[in-house]
A and B are shown apart, each in its own frame.
Chain A
């Protein structure tokens, strides 16, 4: 009888471990996206400027995700070419740049409607969640590629209409480090972030 109990206990433990390993990352993602949209589309009188909104969004995202993961994937092997004192600076600057691009992409006259498809587990450590963003009459396909890490499911890549954020940035970093060093990178990132009007040069 005891043998049966212990075997059952072992079986339950195995089952729990398998289920936990394939825990659906969609819930956390939906929660984070919802929080980001709330910040983006909340009453503008509550928040002073875009920079403040970006900081709040970063905080909300940090509740479930380590943004450094996707940024390190964007940088790839070029990370070794960045001087150690510059590494945290570069991470912080790119984080702001990526969040700004994400926020600008989500901006519209009205809060977008987002539909989450079922999670597709590519393997036990990789998952993909396809979403459809309805911005007015426009429908945009955004796929979140996630990977399982010690800290939980992390965003590994964002694929907007078949265009991967990681691939696009990785190519740029590869080209950049052929001719420049990390000091030049910090300088250029600062310039990009300071140029807040860049996104408004064509006010369409």
Chain B
């Protein structure tokens, strides 16, 4: 019996030792070697930038425009409005872009998401008073609904994205993304003369687009500024962020 006990004792201690050893290996492991630092993570994004020289030039021009024209304009806009007004205006613009999100869902055969988008639009346009508020955010399915665009729809249909390029004033884009920027304004309620707002004058349209740009840039510019202030190369930083954020 004693021999059996001794045998068990040594066996159990061996198992215990093994478990302690495995714990040490789990926590310490060969993890402090350079593999952790050299992990290949960049390859996850495929960036095609054959027009880099041209892009850098446009990036520089945009940067000057942001800094000396749009920045000061935004400063005035921020001075004369408070945060809740700006938030309401952002909501209003977002709500107007419902047709883009709805059609992009339809194009991707996402019937449920298209239905949720319609629900969201109806709720925000009515209870939210013309989209100035977003009561839809109180419902988790509506709040977490992914924002679809024509770019996503084209990607879904296998259209290759093409090279990266920077659009004057508007910023980063790709060849696939670029036409969507042309199509999207057409189905915007203020986009062309053949829709429900056909009485809207050209001046009104221009005013609307400038206002929209101002409202959206008031949110984007601080981010751009923050990105620039902590970048070794703001051009690369913006390009990488654009590809990751899509």
Contacts and interface: CB of A to CB of B under 8 A. Distances in A.
Top-6 shortest CB links A-B: A17-B23, A6-B12, A3-B8, A101-B230, A14-B19, A72-B37
Contact of B236 (A20, A72, A172, A192): A172
B12 A10 contact: yes
Given A162-B244, A203-B75, A204-B218, 14 more contacts: A3-B9, A6-B9, A7-B8, A17-B26, A21-B26, A21-B27, A100-B230, A124-B26, A148-B26, A150-B28, A172-B236, A175-B236, A192-B230, A199-B226
Contacts of B239: 171
B245 A161 contact: yes
B27 A148 contact: yes
B203 interface: no
Contact of B71 (A72, A73, A201): A201
Interface of B: 4-5, 8-9, 11-13, 15-16, 19-20, 22-23, 26-29, 31-32, 36-39, 41-42, 44-45, 66-67, 71, 74-75, 78, 83-84, 87, 218, 221-222, 225-226, 228-233, 236-237, 239-241, 244-245
A171 B31 contact: no
A73 B39 contact: yes
Contacts of A121: none
B15 A77 contact: no
B44 A149 contact: no
A149 B15 CA distance: 24
B62 to A, nearest CB: 14
A71 B12 CA distance: 44
| Chain A contact surface mostly | helix
Interface residues of A, number: 63
A169 B37 CA distance: 13
Contacts of B222: 202, 204
A135 to B, nearest CB: 10
B84 A137 contact: yes
B231 A104 contact: no
A76 B240 CA distance: 16
A177 to B, nearest CB: 10
Given A105-B226, A136-B83, A125 B8 contact: no
Nearest to B217: A204
B229 A199 contact: yes
Contact of B232 (A13, A18, A172): A172
A147 interface: yes
A69 to B, nearest CB: 7
Given A13-B20, A172-B237, A125 B229 contact: no
A137 B41 CA distance: 33
A13 B8 CA distance: 16
A16 B16 CA distance: 11
Nearest to A147: B36
Given A167-B240, A202-B222, A3 B245 contact: no
A40 interface: no
Contacts of B236: 171-172, 175
B198 to A, nearest CB: 35
21 contacts: A10-B12, A10-B19, A17-B23, A72-B37, A100-B230, A101-B226, A125-B31, A148-B26, A150-B31, A162-B245, A164-B244, A171-B240, A172-B231, A172-B236, A172-B240, A173-B232, A188-B232, A198-B225, A202-B71, A202-B222, A204-B221
A76 B37 contact: yes
Contact of B44 (A152, A161, A167): A167
A198 B36 contact: no
Nearest to B72: A202
Contacts of B5: 2-3
